[in-house]
Amino acid sequence: MTEDTSPSTADSATVPASGTHDADIDRLFGNAGPLGQAIGGFRPRQSQTEMAKAIAEAIAQQKTLIAEAGTGTGKTFAYLVPALLWGGKVIISTGTKNLQDQLYLRDIPTVRKALSAPVSVALLKGRANYVCHFHLERTLQNGRMTSREDVGYLREISRFMKTTGSGDKAELSKVPETAPIWNLVTSTRDTCLGAECQYYQDCFVMKARKEAQQADVVVVNHHLFFADVALKDTGVAELLPSANTIIFDEAHQLPEVATLFFGDTVSTSQILELCRDVLAEGLSHARDGADWAQVVLPVERAARDLRLAFPQDVVRLAVNQIAPSSVFFPALETLRQEFHGMIAVLEKQAERAETIEQCRARAIELGFKLDAWNSPTPAKSGKNAKAAEADADQGRVLWVEAFSTSLQLHQTPLSIAPIFNKQREGVARSWIFTSATLAVKNDFQHYASQMGLWDEPAQSWPSPFDYGEQGLLYVPHNLPQPNSPDYTDAVIDAALPVIEASGGRAFLLCTTIRAVNRAAERLRAEFEARNLPFPLMVQGEAGRTELLDRFRAAGNAVLIGSQSFWEGVDVRGEALSLVIIDKLPFSPPDDPVLAARIEALEEKGLNGFMHHQLPAAIINLKQGAGRLIRDESDRGVLMICDPRLISKGYGRRIWQSLPPFKRTRELDVVRAFWHSDAATN
């Protein structure tokens, strides 16, 4: 930790005159400025400098700013410089934990050193990222390892705990982030003993929160931020009252993340897991208190019967799509009654052991959610009073999602705008929302309405890249409609000659996992039949980071991925010279939340497609297209296979929102694009 010499909250509350910091920013981002001297390859960019000025002014005036910065603008430095110098207490929220680590470990230290800014910085993650002393000890003593691999991982974690200062599992690369062992050595909100824990003074979660309290700049992620607003369980709530500046990077993700956390979900798998814990803890600590097997058995049976109300493997239905005569509603009522019977037993036995008390608290929380689902007035549990208020004001979507072995009951707010606006009320502070993709043809209306930022200023700064020279947009002829059964095969047929011409070096971005699997099957067979030497990498065959590392190293690979590869992926240079997008990324039409939002818009006289589906698809498409040109020396082809880009009236609005590439429908022009590259090299 550096010494705390940042401006205090009281100091930063003094509002400077408009444009006060413009000269400072010109100097800092100029040729002879400290950034240029300290950072190799740094070059002044007008867009970056202007964006930094706008953010500095929003910070000075304690106002809100929506800031779209084209790829290559350098938006991270554009917000970090004013934030570190004039932001007071700053919370920076990023899209993912990987970006969080990049900001904390690389970007902030670079800027802080260049500016000689005397600010302290802390990293705060959700509790599942920190090893828990209590759960580690319990697992070492009596953990039921399911594999020899887990035994080895547990040994590594035990060694790690003797040297780590943070307990952050990201520091232990020898144990994969997805390894099941982490669930046994970390705590959850439900299983944390809090101040009663014998290790409370050494707790890494508490230590991280304390450091965040004392730091000038705290780096969190969107899931953590909104989980805290909904659950009050991540430490962000303690930071918010003293924060002067809140910056959301990758802000285009906020509507989806906030919807997730302002909604509510209860699943049969959660109920069955609780039943297993109730049985184990009851037999361990209160064997004489009840016939524990008979306490949990009716609940388990009722939970399984609820799943069996839908014979299909996968189901997504709004509550009004479920037939009133369905066995689902009686099965849900039976589960409620049996569940409350189990709670009554836990109430009587809770004082026998701390772990039984934990089971009781979990059961009450799940009981609230079960009771709230499909009730006329949402039950206001302590956790979701705000969400319940918003449901009453704004409406909520009730829907069911069934998987092969479990069923989830969802409550999703129709709009997060009123809930998020409540979070922004009160203390005056600056709110910055930034991303490369927030607008549709410089129109921010869609994003602003989703977030409740209707009258807030919004600006866009163009990319410094010369897209007309660096890129080509190719839409092939004669593709069938995207709902055709053989559509993915037609995409592969059209893409193969382009992949050959590019020498591999390609991403194929699909809108569904089914398309990923079919494309992989076809390309594997075609590469073998044609003796093409392109390594094929497919989402799901390894972790995202490993696939990207292998892709960069190969230099001529083809990577097939779905949504997780559409954004947050940075491959510079010749290794990625072709991005193929199979179809326009419209949300699936069977999505109950989407259907309800469209209905609500149409009740207001708006067109659901033009005002919601189309802008959302354009923003998503811009993210996918943004994978292609990542540097001023990059060149490449963006191939969009969807014929609707040409045949539909709205297609023009879509391609006008993309970077201004040259455009063609001819394969020969595509081949010539790379041929001219080869000739000049």
- Fold agreement (9-20+46-120+217-260+418-461, 467-680): yes
485-505 pLDDT per residue, tens: 999 999 999 999 999 999 999
39 Ramachandran zone, left/alpha/beta (phi>0; psi -120 to 50) = beta
| C-alpha distance from residue 203 to each of 23, 130, 193, 207 (Å) | 46, 9, 11, 6
Task: Lowest mean pLDDT of 60-69, 374-383, 402-411, 554-563, name the range.
Answer: 374-383
| C-alpha distance from residue 622 to each of 244, 436, 631 (Å) | 32, 8, 16
Residue 377 has pLDDT above 80, yes or no: no
In this prediction the pTM is 0.86
Residue 253 has pLDDT above 80, yes or no: yes
Among 265, 608, 621, residue whose Cα is nearest residue 446: 608
Phi/psi of residue 588, each to 5°?
Answer: -60, 135
- Say what the pLDDT of residue 232 is: 63
> Are 298 and 341 within 8 A, CB to CB?
yes
Length, in residues, of the chain? 681
Coil/strand/helix, residue 189: coil
Please give the average per-residue pLDDT across 577-581, as a whole number: 97
The CA distance from 158 to 174, in Å, is 12
| pLDDT band per the 50, 70, 90 thresholds, residue 536 | very high
Task: Lowest mean pLDDT of 523-532, 595-604, 636-645, name the range.
Answer: 595-604
Please give the average per-residue pLDDT across 641-664, as a whole number: 94
Among 527, 577, 575, residue whose Cα is nearest residue 555: 575
Among 653, 635, 513, 527, residue whose Cα is nearest residue 579: 635
Strand 407-413 versus strand 430-435 pairing type:
unpaired
| pLDDT band per the 50, 70, 90 thresholds, residue 658 | very high
The CA distance from 189 to 366, in Å, is 13
Residue 241 has pLDDT above 80, yes or no: no
Q: Name the one residue in this structure whose structure tokens are 């909100």.
A: 189
Residues forming beta bridges with residue 264, ordered by sequence position: 411
Strand 396-402 versus strand 407-413 pairing type:
antiparallel
HSE-CB for 384 with a 13 A CA cutoff: 24
Average per-residue pLDDT for the chain: 88
Which residues, in sequence order, are CB contacts of 271 under 8 Å at separation 6+? 299, 300, 303, 335, 339, 366
Pick the CATH number of 9-20+46-120+217-260+418-461 from 3.40.50.300, 3.40.50.10610, 3.40.50.10190, 3.40.50.620: 3.40.50.300
The CA distance from 5 to 479, in Å, is 62
DSSP for 294-324 reads HHHHHHHHHHHHHHTTS-SSSEEEEGGGS-T
Q: What is the CATH number of domain 467-680?
A: 3.40.50.300
Strand 90-94 versus strand 558-561 pairing type:
unpaired
Q: Where are the alpha helices (DSSP H) in 308-444?
A: 328-349, 354-372, 385-394, 417-424
> Are 349 and 367 within 8 A, CB to CB?
no
Compute the C-alpha angle 197/199/200, nearest 5°: 65
DSSP letter at 576 equals -
Coil/strand/helix, residue 245: strand
The CA distance from 456 to 12, in Å, is 22
What's the alpha-carbon Rg for the chain, to the nearest Å? 27
Domain-wise residue ranges, the chain: 9-20+46-120+217-260+418-461, 128-204, 264-383, 467-680
The CA distance from 518 to 560, in Å, is 10
Residue 400 has pLDDT above 70, yes or no: yes
Residue 14 has pLDDT above 80, yes or no: no
